[in-house]
Amino acid sequence: LKKYYKLVEELKAAGGLWEDPEFPPSVLSLTYEEELPQDVTWIRASEFHERACFMENGVSKSDIMQGELGDCWFWASVATIAHCRQLIERVIPPGQYISEKGPYFGVFQFRFWQFGNWVEVLVDDYLPTRNRGLIYARSENTNEFWPSLLEKAFAKLHGCYKAIEGGWTVDALTDLTGGVGEMYKCCDYKDQQEELYNQLVTATRKHAFIACGTGKQVNDGSSEKQEGLIAGHAYSITAVNFVQLTTPRGRVPLVQILNPWGSGKSIEWTGDWSDVSPLWDEIPVWTRESFGFSRKDDGEFWMRFDDFCERFANVTILTLGPDFNGDGGAGNSRDQGISQFLEVKGQWVTGINAGGCRNNMAKYIQNPQYPVSISGTDVINSNSEEDKDETCSILICLLQNYRRCDRKLGVNMNPIGLHIYKVSNKEVQGDQQEVNFYPIEVPISSTERVSNTRSINAHCKLYPGDYVIIPSTYHSDIEGEYMLRIFTENNVHIHGGH
Of 259, 314, 414, 490, which one is the catalytic site residue?
Answer: 259
Q: Are residues 159 and 184 in the same domain?
A: no
Q: Is 323 contained in some domain?
A: no
Q: Are residues 13 and 113 in the same domain?
A: yes
Q: Any residues with CB less than 8 A from the CB of 290 and at least 6 apart, and which? A: none
Of 53, 72, 186, 392, which one is the catalytic site residue?
Answer: 72
Q: Is 378 contained in some domain?
A: yes
Query: CA-CA distance, 110 to 120, in Å (whole number)?
Result: 6
Residue 303 structural domain: 180-317
Query: CA-CA distance, 435 to 218, in Å (whole number)?
Result: 49
Q: Are residues 103 and 198 in the same domain?
A: no
Q: Are 416 and 473 in contact (CB under 8 A)?
A: yes
Q: Is 330 contained in some domain?
A: no
Q: Any residues with CB less than 8 A from the CB of 165 and at least 6 apart, and which? A: 69, 70, 71
CATH number at residue 291: 3.90.70.10
Question: Domain ends where: 129, 146, 167?
Answer: 167
Amino acid letter for position 273: W
Q: Are residues 291 and 430 in the same domain?
A: no
Q: Is 326 contained in some domain?
A: no
For the entire predicted model, the pTM comes to 0.89
Amino acid letter for position 55: M
Q: Is 172 contained in some domain?
A: no
Question: Domain ends where: 122, 142, 167?
Answer: 167
Q: Any residues with CB less than 8 A from the CB of 372 and at least 6 apart, and which? A: 466, 467, 468, 469, 486, 492, 493, 494, 495
Q: Are residues 187 and 54 in the same domain?
A: no
Query: CA-CA distance, 460 to 468, in Å (whole number)?
Result: 13
Active site includes 72? yes
Q: Are residues 259 and 402 in the same domain?
A: no
Q: How many separate domains does the chain show?
A: 3
Q: Are residues 258 and 119 in the same domain?
A: no
Q: Are residues 371 and 413 in the same domain?
A: yes
Q: Are residues 32 and 76 in the same domain?
A: yes
Q: Are residues 58 and 155 in the same domain?
A: yes
Q: Are residues 197 and 147 in the same domain?
A: no
Q: Are 172 and 74 in contact (CB under 8 A)?
A: yes
Question: Domain ends where: 120, 139, 167?
Answer: 167
pLDDT tens digits for the chain (498 residues)? 589 999 999 999 998 899 999 999 999 999 988 777 788 999 999 998 888 999 988 899 889 999 999 999 999 999 999 999 999 999 999 999 997 677 899 999 999 999 999 999 999 999 999 999 999 999 999 999 999 999 999 999 999 999 999 999 999 999 999 999 999 999 999 999 999 999 999 999 889 999 999 997 655 554 455 788 999 999 999 999 998 776 666 789 999 999 998 766 568 999 999 999 999 988 888 888 888 888 888 889 999 999 999 999 999 999 987 665 555 555 444 344 444 688 899 999 999 999 999 998 889 989 999 999 888 777 554 455 554 568 888 899 999 998 887 777 667 889 999 999 998 765 555 444 344 566 667 889 999 888 989 999 999 899 999 999 999 999 999 999 999 999 887 777 777 666
Active site includes 259? yes
Q: Any residues with CB less than 8 A from the CB of 301 and at least 6 apart, and which? A: 228, 256, 257, 259, 268, 269, 274, 275
Q: Is 355 contained in some domain?
A: yes
Of 158, 233, 419, 495, which one is the catalytic site residue?
Answer: 233
Q: Are 164 and 70 in contact (CB under 8 A)?
A: no
Q: Is 221 contained in some domain?
A: yes
Q: Is 356 contained in some domain?
A: yes
- The CA dihedral of 41, 56, 63, 145, to the nearest 10 degrees, is 10
Q: Are 302 and 293 in contact (CB under 8 A)?
A: yes
Q: Any residues with CB less than 8 A from the CB of 40 and at least 6 apart, and which? A: 27, 30, 128, 129, 130, 135
CATH number at residue 437: 2.60.120.380
Q: Are residues 125 and 192 in the same domain?
A: no
